[in-house]
Amino acid sequence: MLKGKTAVITGASTGIGKSIALKMAEQGANIAVIYIGDETPAIDVKNQVENFGGKAEIYECDVSNYEGSKTVCEKIIADFGSVDILVNNAGIIRDNLLLRMSEEDFDAVINVNLKGVFNMTKNMSRSIMRSGSGRIINIASVSGIMGNAGQANYSASKAGVIGLTKTTAKEFAGKNVTCNALAPGFIATDMTANLPQAVIEQVSNTVPLKRMGTADEVANAAVFLASDMASYITGEVIRVDGGMCM
């Protein structure tokens, strides 16, 4: 489905980003793996992509830094020649009740989760437009649709991602570039791995499908949006949440 395409994926060394990278590689894409921090998981993703027969390179980048993002985007374009798909997945959480939340924690989440999407989209936009059928996929959250107690910063950042997605879709449509968002619900990732079992069961019971989702289930939706099968879909927010936010 993605043979010969090049995909840039932020936060691609773990969790949902890793699953998206491997699913896209399985479908023939070359992958630029963007990570921050520990290089070891990123190298593992690179090796797995290459096992599928694709090209892969790793790049450390704090996506909240505009100049750093610009430099990495230029390096990726130089290494791969062109970019067809951008997946803005990098995100952090700094949960707390609004009255207890520090300005630092609020700003940190907004800067990575929202400004990071702007930084990467702006700096990669010209290459994606030149592809003639570019795809931008932003990872939002059901928290950005319905809000969530203890996540004022995270919910605000993901609501912003949804608004940015729709604006990008309108502005880039003339170049045959689509932009859509995925809104995962309660997904089993590193972020949820340390939750007490009682909490997992309690939240799972609020989901109509009565279970957590998997990173692969989010990745499957990302592959679809990146493919030619989704060529007439843009500006959409597709929930991958087991019916949590109906």
pLDDT of residue 149: 92
| 154 noted as active-site residue | yes
Q: Are 130 and 81 spatial neighbours (Cβ–Cβ below 8 Å)? A: no
Closest CA to 16 of 240, 246, 244: 240
Closest CA to 162 of 126, 113, 119, 128: 113
pLDDT of residue 194: 75
Question: Catalytic residue among 35, 59, 66, 154, which?
Answer: 154
Listing DSSP states for 192-210 in one string gives TTTS-HHHHHHHHTTSTT-
Cβ atoms within 10 Å of 4's Cβ, excluding its own:
9
pLDDT of residue 199: 82
Considering the entire predicted model, what is its pTM? 0.95
Q: How far apart are CA 155 and CA 11, in angstroms?
A: 19
Unique residue bearing structure tokens 């972020």: 191
Question: How does pLDDT run along the chain (246 residues), one tens digit per residue?
Answer: 999 999 999 999 999 999 999 999 999 999 999 999 999 999 999 999 999 999 999 999 999 999 999 999 999 999 999 999 999 999 999 999 999 999 999 999 999 999 999 999 999 999 999 998 999 999 999 999 999 999 999 999 999 999 999 999 999 999 999 999 999 999 988 777 777 888 888 888 889 999 999 999 999 999 999 999 999 999 999 999 999 998
CATH code that applies to domain 6-240: 3.40.50.720
pLDDT of residue 204: 87
- Please provide residue 18's backbone torsions phi and psi, each rounded to the nearest 5 degrees: -65, -45
pLDDT of residue 94: 94
Closest CA to 2 of 30, 34, 40, 29: 29
